[in-house]
Amino acid sequence: MTPEALTIKNHPHFNEISQGMEIDFDFFGDTDDPACHNRTKEMVEALMENGYVYPREIDLAYCPKCERFLPDRYVEGECPYCGKPARGDECDMGCGRHLEPGEIKNAICKVCGGRAEYPQQTHYFFRLSGFRNFLLEHLQALGGTASARNFATEVGPLGT
């Protein structure tokens, strides 16, 4: 079964389950619906116009032999800090340091053994910090355990 066929088959079921749990949607469409495409485009454009979504150039591991970008787990090499074997984003066999893209020495593709490169790519990021006050107020209104609220406020852009 294709992903599209699975989506079409399950869409009414998920809508029914949502209603049974008293979850109400203004619009319960699917990702292939042109209305969904247009609404998503409008939302992203509005976020970009207001500076909440922004482009940034980043280095990404790429294997020319496989002709594909590589997730961190598909890159192996040598830690630039301790010289021990490391994979994509961390030196898990040596010093334990987090590695930024391109820092690993002698990077190879785990799939084919070829040399990995790090070309720059434009990616888009969401400026969560722009919603800090709203999110903090919302967290307090949600209630829940103090531990859960503290975790949410101590991690990432909501933290101090």
Q: What is the pLDDT of residues 94-126, one digit of tens each?
A: 999 999 989 999 999 999 999 999 999 999 999
Mean local confidence (pLDDT), 9-33: 88
CB 70 within 8 A of CB 63: yes
pLDDT band at 149; cut points 50, 70, 90: confident
- pLDDT tens-digit readout, 130-147: 998 898 888 888 877 888
Q: Residue 3 pLDDT > 70, yes or no?
A: yes
Residue ranges of domains in the chain, CATH in brackets:
55-124 (2.170.220.10), 128-160 (no CATH)
pTM reported for the whole predicted model: 0.63
Tokens 């979504």 appear where? 53
Mean local confidence (pLDDT), 28-53: 91
Contacts of residue 55, Cβ cutoff 8 Å, sequence gap at least 6:
122, 123, 124, 125
Q: Looking at residue 9, what is its pLDDT?
A: 93
**What is the Cα–Cα distance from 105 to 80, expressed in whole angstroms?**
6
In sequence order, what are the beta bridge partners of 124? 55
Q: Residue 159 pLDDT > 70, yes or no?
A: no
24, amino acid identity: D
